[in-house]
Chains A and B, each alone.
Chain A
Amino acid sequence: MNLFTFRGGVHPPESKELTEEKPIRFMPLPQEVKIYLANHGGAPAKRVVKEGDTVKTGQKIGEQAGMISANVHASLTGTVVGVEKVFHPVLQKPSEVVVIRRETEKDEWEYINPHGDFNRFKAPEIVDIIKEAGIVGLGGAMFPTHVKLTPPEGKKIDLLIVNGAECEPYLTIDHRLMLERTEDIVKGIRILMYVLDVEKAYVGIENNKLDAYEAMMRATAGEPIKVKLLRTKYPQGAEKQLIYALTKRVVPSGGLPLHVGVVVQNVGTVLAVYEAVEKGKPLVERGLTVTGEAVSNPSNLVVRVGTMVSEVLEFVGGLKGKVDRVILGGPMMGIAIPDLNIPVMKGTSGIVALPPERKGKVETKPCIRCSRCVMACPMNLQPYLLEQLARARRYDEAVEEGLMDCIECGSCSYICPSKIDHVKSIKLAKKVYRALRGGARK
C-alpha cells in the first residue's frame, strides 16, 4: 500500500501496547478542580466569577480577552472556593486558576445556545458556537480553534486535514477516539468542512493504527473525506510534515498551513467541535492517555479539565516502582512537571510516568559530527550547528541557519549519540532572539 510520509524523522519505540487496546473510561467527577484561565500563548481569559459564586458545569468562568484567546468554563457543578496561582507547566510560571468545589453529586450542565443540527446554521454562527465553547487545539498546542477557522480576507482554504497521526510514543487516546467515537468524529469533520467551505478533507492516520484506519474508512465511505495511511514515523503528526506527506504542499518558512490553503485539526479537537455544535457542550472534559512503565494500570480516560494529575494517577491505581519523571503530553515534546499538584489542562493529551530505566537525562558528550541530527531533522536544518551557534549566543547567525524554522520536535536530541540537548538550546535562543528583536518577526 502507498504510505504517505516526509523526509527525516526518527523511530522511537512506540510503547503504545500499554494502552492501545484499552477502551476509554470516564473518570468519576473529582471533588475539586483547578482551571487555568491561560492557554499556551495568547491572552489569558478574563475571569467572570468570584469566590462564593455557585456555578454549573459548562458555565463560563473566563471570558475570551483579545484575538488569540479562548473562553474557559466550569467543569464541575459547585462553588467557586477561591482564585489562586498554580505553576503552569506550559508557561513555566505560576498562573491564575479558578478553584471549584463540588458539594453535591449533581452534575448540572449549562449548554451553549443555540446548538443542534449544524445544517441549521450559517458558517459564522458555527464559528461563534466553537468560540463560545472555548475550544482550543487538543493535540497540545492549545491554539484557539475559532481563529484557525477564520482565515484572513483573501486566503482561500481548499482542504481540511484531520490529524490522526498520533506520532508521539505512548499516547493512544486519538487512536481510541477514532475507534470508539468514529461516527461523531466524522460528523465533526462534516461540520468543519461546512464551516471552511471546502470540497474535501483528508484524515491522516499512521499505519500502526490499522483498526482505526479501517473504522474511519468505513464511516466515510462515499463521502469526499479521504482517509490516508501514513508511515509510522515521528514527527508524522507535525503540521508542516503532515501537510507535506498528504499533499506535497510546502508551508513557506515562517508561514502557516493557511498559506497553502490548508487547515489542520486534531481528531480530539474535531470531536470537541461536534460536541459543542450538536450537543451544546463547552470544552470542559477531554480524553487523555495515562500511561508509562511507572503507572499501575495504564488507561485511556475522559477527565474533566482542572482535575489534579495526582487524582488522575490515583484513579488508575497510582504509580508503581520507582518514578523518575511525570510528563504532560508525549515523551518527545511533552513537559516534565515538578510535582503532581498540577491540574489537567485543555491541551493535556497524556500523563506519562517513566521509571529511571527509561533514561532521559544522561551525560552530555561533545558532538562527534555523526550527522544523525541532520539526517533526522524534518525541517532540513542542521541541529548540531544551531545548538553550537545558540550556545555561543550568535543568534543572528543561528537565525540565518533557520533557527526560527525549528519545530522543536526533538528528533535531533532523541537520536544524538552524544546526548546533546539541541532543542533546549534552540528554544532558549528563540526566546532570547524574539526578546532582543522586541517581538518583531524576522
Chain B
Amino acid sequence: MKLSVTAAPHIRDGDNVRSIMFDVLIALSPAVIAATYFFGWRALILSIVSIFIAEGIELFIMKVLRKQKDFKPDFSASVTGLLLALNVNVGLPIWVLVVGLIAALTLGKHVYGGIGKNPFNPALVGRVFLLISFPSLMTTWWAPRYWNLDTLTTATPLAVVKEQGFGALNVGYLDLFLGNIGGCMGEVSALALLIGFAYLVMRRRIKLLIPISYIGTVLLISSIFWMIDVERYGTPLFHILAGGLMLGALFMATDMVTSPITPKGQMIFGVGCGVITMMIRYFGGYPEGVSFSILIMNSVVPLIDMYTKPRIFGKHVVGKG
C-alpha cells in the first residue's frame, strides 16, 4: 500500500486564498448593485468587464511573463479589478480603466513578486496612477440617475463643502447614506458597503480593528473641527458618510496583504489612515484623501509590524533555572 508521508498537522482548515477572495467579491456585490441602481447598467458592465480584464492581465503576467505554466487564478486579481472599477466614476472610458488595471497589477503587484509581496494596495496604486495621468477624466462625476436630469455631471459633496462651505451642500444625510450623490460608483452607498462588510465580519474574513479605528479617528477629528467651525469643516456624520471613507475603511485599508499583522498594529494603522484622511480633506489640495492616506500608511506597515510584535508567552517572566 502506498501511503503519503506529509508533515504534521495532517488536517487543515477548509479556508484558502481563493475562498477568502471570493467572499470579498460577494461582500462587494451590494455596492455593485447600488452603483447599478444609481448609475445605470454602465456601472454593472464596467464592474464585470474590469474583473475579467484584471484576471486576463494577471493570467498573462503569470503564464507569459513569469512563466508559471500551472498558474490557476486565485481571484485576487478579480478583487483588485472590482475595487478599481468601484473607485472610478461611471463615465470613465473603458480603455482608461484598462490602463489603470495594467498599472495596478504590474506597478502595484507583480513588480514586487505578486500576491502577498506587494506593499501597496494594488487597486489604489491603479487609482492614483489614473488620478495623476487623467486628472480631469478622473474628477468628472456623472450624477446619480443622470438619465432623469438635464445636466450629466455633478460635484461630489466633499468638493462642494471644500469649495463653497457646508451651507451650500444640497444633499441630505439620507442621500449620503443610501448613495444618491455624485462620486465613484462604489463609494456612494454607505448602506450597501455596510451590508457587504457585515457579511465579511460574519465570515470572520476581516481585520476588524482597522475599520473601527479608522472610522473612529475620523469621527473624533471631525467632531473637534465641527465644534471649531461647522460651516468650513462640516459635521462628523457628513465626513463619515461622504466620499470614499466607507469603501476605503471597510474594503481597502483592510486588505490583508498591505495592513499590519497584530491587533495593536492594526489600531495604529487605522488611526494613521484617519488622521491623514482628515488632514487632506481639511487642508490638502484634494477634496478627498482616503486613497492617499491608505497608501501612505501602507508604506509604514513594516515599521508598524516591527514595533508591535506580540509578547512571547513566557519570555518576560523570570524564574527559570
Residues of A whose CB lies within 8 Å of any CB of B are: 10, 12-13, 169, 240, 244, 250-255, 259-260, 323-327, 331-340, 352, 354, 358-362, 365-371, 374, 377-382, 384, 401-402, 405, 408, 410, 413-419, 421, 423-424
Q: Does B151 touch A at the CB level, under 8 Å?
A: no
**Do A325 and B9 touch across chains, with their CB atoms under 8 A apart?**
no
**How near does chain A come to B13, taking the closest CB pair, in angstroms?**
5
**Do A325 and B315 touch across chains, with their CB atoms under 8 A apart?**
no
Q: Does B212 touch A at the CB level, under 8 Å?
A: no
Q: Which of B4, B10, B17 is A332 in contact with, Cβ under 8 Å? A: B10
Closest to A361 in B: B6
Chain B residues positioned under 8 Å from A352 (CB to CB): 10
Chain A residues positioned under 8 Å from B113 (CB to CB): 366
Closest to B256 in A: A370
Q: How many residues of B contact A (CB 8 A)?
A: 43
**Do B116 and A368 touch across chains, with their CB atoms under 8 A apart?**
yes
**Do B7 and A325 touch across chains, with their CB atoms under 8 A apart?**
no
How far does the alpha carbon of A408 sit from the alpha carbon of B321 in the complex, in Å?
Answer: 23
A-B contact pairs, 9 of them (CB 8 A): A169-B11, A240-B313, A324-B3, A331-B8, A336-B6, A362-B12, A413-B7, A417-B17, A418-B116
**How near does chain A come to B172, taking the closest CB pair, in angstroms?**
39
Q: Does B19 touch A at the CB level, under 8 Å?
A: yes
Binary interface encoding of chain B residues 159-178 relative to chain A, with 1 for a CB under 8 A from any of its CBs, else 0: 00000000000000000000
**Do B310 and A417 touch across chains, with their CB atoms under 8 A apart?**
no
How far does the alpha carbon of A336 sit from the alpha carbon of B321 in the complex, in Å?
Answer: 36
Instruction: Say which one of B37-45, B51-59, B137-145, B257-265 lies at the interface with A.
Output: B257-265
Chain B residues positioned under 8 Å from A379 (CB to CB): 312-314
**Do B12 and A369 touch across chains, with their CB atoms under 8 A apart?**
no
How far does the alpha carbon of A349 sit from the alpha carbon of B7 in the complex, in Å?
Answer: 18
Given known A-B contacts A358-B11, A368-B257, A413-B12, A380 and B319 have beta carbons under 8 A apart: no
Q: Does B132 touch A at the CB level, under 8 Å?
A: no
**Do A381 and B310 touch across chains, with their CB atoms under 8 A apart?**
yes
**Do A365 and B17 touch across chains, with their CB atoms under 8 A apart?**
yes
**Do B11 and A252 touch across chains, with their CB atoms under 8 A apart?**
no
Closest to A244 in B: B313
Other A-B contacts than A369-B116, A381-B312, A405-B314, 13 sampled, CB-CB below 8 A, are A250-B314, A254-B320, A323-B3, A332-B8, A365-B74, A368-B116, A381-B310, A408-B8, A410-B9, A414-B12, A415-B13, A416-B12, A424-B7
Q: Does B15 touch A at the CB level, under 8 Å?
A: yes
The 6 closest A-B pairs by CB, nearest first: A410-B9, A366-B116, A255-B320, A424-B7, A252-B320, A331-B10
Q: Does B66 touch A at the CB level, under 8 Å?
A: no
Which B residues from 1 to 36 make CB contacts under 8 A with A?
A: 1, 3-13, 15-17, 19-20
**How near does chain B come to A24, taking the closest CB pair, in angstroms?**
24
**Do B7 and A359 touch across chains, with their CB atoms under 8 A apart?**
no
How far does the alpha carbon of A338 sit from the alpha carbon of B317 in the complex, in Å?
Answer: 42
Q: Which of B11, B17, B259 is A12 in contact with, Cβ under 8 Å? A: B11
Closest to A367 in B: B116
**Do A417 and B15 touch across chains, with their CB atoms under 8 A apart?**
yes
How far does the alpha carbon of A405 sit from the alpha carbon of B311 in the complex, in Å?
Answer: 12
Q: Does B63 touch A at the CB level, under 8 Å?
A: no
Could you say which of A13, A254, A368 has the most chain B C-beta atoms within 10 Å of its C-beta? A368
Given known A-B contacts A250-B313, A252-B317, A370-B256, A336 and B3 have beta carbons under 8 A apart: yes
Chain B residues positioned under 8 Å from A367 (CB to CB): 116
Chain B residues positioned under 8 Å from A334 (CB to CB): 8, 10
Chain B residues positioned under 8 Å from A370 (CB to CB): 20, 256
How far does the alpha carbon of A405 sit from the alpha carbon of B9 in the complex, in Å?
Answer: 18
**Do A255 and B10 touch across chains, with their CB atoms under 8 A apart?**
no
Closest to B19 in A: A417
Chain A residues positioned under 8 Å from B7 (CB to CB): 336, 413, 421, 423-424
Q: Does B99 touch A at the CB level, under 8 Å?
A: no
How far does the alpha carbon of A380 sit from the alpha carbon of B262 in the complex, in Å?
Answer: 10
Chain B residues positioned under 8 Å from A366 (CB to CB): 113-117
**Do B312 and A405 touch across chains, with their CB atoms under 8 A apart?**
yes
Chain B residues positioned under 8 Å from A252 (CB to CB): 314, 317-320
Chain A residues positioned under 8 Å from B259 (CB to CB): 369
Q: Which of B5, B117, B313 is A405 in contact with, Cβ under 8 Å? A: B313
How far does the alpha carbon of A423 sit from the alpha carbon of B114 in the complex, in Å?
Answer: 24
Chain A residues positioned under 8 Å from B312 (CB to CB): 253, 379-381, 402, 405
How far does the alpha carbon of A118 sit from the alpha carbon of B20 in the complex, in Å?
Answer: 58
